[in-house]
Amino acid sequence: MSQNFDELVRHSIAVTLENMAFMEVLPQSEETETDAEDNMSARLLVLDPLQAEMVLTLPVRLLTNIIDVVHAFPEDDVVEQIRSDMLGELLNTVAGRLLNDFLPGNQAYRLGLPEVTLEQPTVCEGPSRTWEYDVEGEPLALTIVGTGFFPEDGEPA
């Protein structure tokens, strides 16, 4: 795996969370067990100029902490209402940053709309890779699937 691409992924997530919620992103130092029922995921298709799928998964507690910081501690019922929007926005921002750094020049790209779920989403077939991080003591994972980023040999393009 290209160390440069790994750094692009880490940078995309780190800058997004540091700018939005003032949270530090660290490599995950050990396996963290979380109950799948406590997680939320967002899935996003990259449509052009390459085809891929990105899935961001994190615990609801971490998402709630992000919302608390971004929206200055809203009421609990407001947090419930904006949870899906915030997760979709996080994935959209991470994907945009990654594509801006990955694609040559100022090449335009096109993304689908984020799909948010409480279950682990079914992902497309193809080469994939998952990066896991620690944010405020909670796990965060980004999975990228597809030959757009990973050609036949499984290494980033």
In angstroms, the CA 70 to CA 74 distance is 9
Stretch (H or E) spanning 45: strand 39-48
3 pLDDT more than 60: yes
Cα(79)–Cα(61) distance, integer angstroms: 11
Tokens of 1: 């795996």
Q: Given pLDDT bands bounded at 50, 70 and 90, which one contains residue 157?
A: low
If pLDDT is split at 50, 70 and 90, which confidence band does 71 have? confident
Average pLDDT for the chain: 89
pLDDT in tens, 12-51: 999 999 999 999 999 987 665 656 669 999 999 999 999 9
- Domain positions in the chain: 3-145
Q: CATH assignment of 3-145?
A: 3.40.1550.10
Strand partners, 110: 48
pLDDT of residue 35: 62
153 has a pLDDT exceeding 70: no
CB-count exposure of residue 3 (10 Å: 0-12, 13-18, 19+): exposed
Return the pLDDT at 106.
Answer: 86
> Residue 54 in contact with residue 95, Cβ under 8 Å?
yes
Phi, psi of 58 (to 5 degrees): -155, 160
Average pLDDT for 118-126: 76
Q: What pTM did the predictor assign?
A: 0.89
Contact (Cβ atoms closer than 8 angstroms) between residue 40 and residue 83: yes
Q: Region 98-112: what's the mean pLDDT?
A: 94
Query: What single-letter amino acid sits at 137?
Result: G
106 burial via Cβ count (<10 Å: 0-12, 13-18, 19+): exposed
> Which positions ≥6 away from 30 have C-beta within 8 Å?
none
Residue ranges of alpha helices (H) inside 103-140 are none
